[in-house]
Structure 1
Amino acid sequence: MRDDGTLDDKPDPDAVADRSDATLSSERSPTTIASGARLGGRRNSLADLIRTRSGWLRDLPTPNGSAARPAAAGGPGERVGPAGRGRRAGAVVAVGVVCCLALAALAQARQEAADTGRAGALAADAGLDRRAAAEVAARSLERAPAPTVSPSAPPGSPSATASPSATASPSVTATPSAARKRTAPKRPAGPAPVAGLTKAQMANAKVIVRTGRELGFPRRGLVIAVATAMQESNLYNLASGVLPESQEYPHQGVGWDHDSVGLFQQRASSGWGEVGQLMDPEFATRQFLTALAEIPGWEELPLTVAAQSVQISAYPDLYAQHEWRAAEVVDAFLSAGM
C-alpha cells in the first residue's frame, strides 16, 4: 500500500508481452546478430542499455509524482486512469530515444566502413604510383649509356673509375662546321700560270673569266676581255698617278694615262663608275662586258674591232697582238672547270 492509501497494482505476468524486448533470443534473425557484431563495442553498450530499460522505465516519474511501474493490460471495459496513461507516454518516449540512438549508431558504423573503404582505395592507388615510379626508374637505368673507361688507365686508379656523366671526348664529336667542311665541294685551285703570266696576272685573269661565265658570255667574249686587259694594264690592277684617291684602294702598280684606273683603265670622269668601284677587278669586268654586249654583232667582229668599239683607244690595232695569249689563258681556266 502506498503512502496515499492507494493499493499497489498487482504485477501481471502478461505485462511482459508489452515490452519491446520481449522477443526470444531464438527468434532473432541472423541479420540482426551480424549487424550487432559490426557495430562492435558501441552496439554492445546499446544492447545493455536496451536490456536494462525495463529498470529505468520503472523509475520514470509519473504525473502524480510516484515512480512508474509496469501495469497489467486492462481488460475489456477496464478504464485506464491518469497514472496508466502517464506510464504509457513515458514508455513511448523511451522507445523513441532508444530508436534514435540505434539509428545514430548504425549511421556512424556505416560512415566508418565507408572511411575504411576510401582509405583502402587510397592505399592501393599509392601502391600503384610507387610501382609505376619504380618501373620508370628501372627503364631509365636500362637506357642510360654505359660509362666509358680510358683503356690506358690502370685498374683501381681514379681515372679508371667510370662516372655517370662520362661522355665521348669533344675532339671525337663532329661539329656542324666540321661536317660542312668535309662535305663542301672543293673549289678548283686554278691552273698554273700560262702564256708567260705571273701568279698575280693569272689571278686577275681568273676574275675576268669567272665574272664573264656568271654573266653568261661565251668563250669569244672572255678572250676579248682578257686581251683588252692585257693591252690596257698588262693584267695588273693599276691606280692613277694623277688621281691620288685611286691609290687609297688595293692596287698592283701606278699608271699615268690621265685618270684611267683598274684592269681596263676606265675613267671615272667618262662615266664608267666611281673610283673605288673601278678599282675592283670584278666591277670593272662587268662594266666592260656590259658595254661589249651592246655592240651589234660583236661575236662576229675581229677582236681588235670589238675591243676598240668599247675602249675608244688612240691605238686600236694593238689589241690583236694579245689574242693568242688570251685564248691560251681562257682555255686553261675552262679546262680546269672554272
Structure 2
Amino acid sequence: MSEPSPTPPKRRGRLVRFLAALLVLCGVAAYLVVQYITGGGGARGCEVVSSPGGGTSYRFTPEQAANAATIAAVGTGRGMPGRAVTIALATALQESGLRNIEHGDRDSLGLFQQRPSQGWGTERQIMDPAYAAGIFYAHLAKVPDYADLPLTVAAQRVQRSGYPEAYAKHEPDATLLAAALTGQAAAALTCDGRPEHTATATGPDAVRAALIRDFGRDALQETGAEVGGTPVPSPSPAPSVTATAHGRTVTVPVAGSARRDGSGRTERERGWQLAQWAVANSSALRIERVSYAGRQWTVGSGSDQWRTVRSSGGAAGAESSAGAVRIVTGH
C-alpha cells in the first residue's frame, strides 16, 4: 500500500495565505474594538482644540472628559484661579489618566490616587471625583505662592510623589483643558455624545443634580471632612448654580456682563464653562443639545463643532443670547 502523497505546494500556499489574512482581520477587529473603548482615532470620544479649525488638540474619552469637567468645576466653585485648575488637571493626568480607578500603589485610589491610610478620607469619599478634587484644592491652597511655582513643584507639595518630575509633561495638555473647562476658551470642547451603556440617571433631574454636585454644593463641608486638620473650603464666593427645567430643557441663568466672580472669571466665561461642562457630560447624562452665546452643540451629525444659531429674523443667537445656558436632554 503506497504512502499518501504530501499536500501539493499550491494548496499549502493558499492555506498559508488564508491563515495570514485571517490573522490580519482579527488584528484589525481588535484594534477597532480598543479604539472604540478608549475613544481614540475617530471612535466615541471628546476633543479640545486651542483654536477653531486647528491648532493644538487633546482627545480623550467621555469618562475622562466628565472627570476633567468636575475637577475644573470644583476648583472655580471654590474661587481657585485657572492656574490651580491646570495644576489639578496635570496631577490627575499623571496619577490616573483622568480615570476614577479603584486601585493603585498600596491603598491609593481615584483620580488623584489619594490614600485612606494617610487621612485623605474614606475609600467611598476618595472615589467621589468632586470630593477628591475638593480635598486636593484644599491642600493646594495651603502651599505658599503655589500659582507662581513651577507646576511640578506645586503638585509635589500636595502629592508627595515618588516621581515628582512626572507632572511637568502633562502641563501643555492640562493648560489646554483648563482653558476650555473654566470657560476662558469658548466653543473649544466637543464630544460625539454617544450614550454610555452604564448611564443610570438621565433627564433634567439628573442634569440638575450633577450641576449641583459639581458647582453649587460642598458635600465635604456638610460632613465636616478634613485632611490633616484642613477643611475643604466652601464654594463661596462663587455663585451657586440655579437651574429650571421645562420638559427636557434645563436652563441655567448666566448674566452677560464683564463682572468677574471669585475666581477672576467674567460671567461670560462662567457661561462657557457651564456649556462645555454639559458637553463633557453628554454621554453620561444623555444630553442632546447645548446652547449659549449664539452657539449651539448638537449630538450626532456635526457634533465635532459648535455652530452659530440664528432666529427666524436672521439674528445670531436669539435662543441663547439672553444670559442663559440651555441644556436639552434625551428622552
Q: What TM-score does the superposition give when structure 2 sets the normalisation length?
A: 0.39
Q: Which has the higher strand share?
A: 2
* Higher-Rg member (1/2): 1
Q: Which has the higher helix share?
A: 1
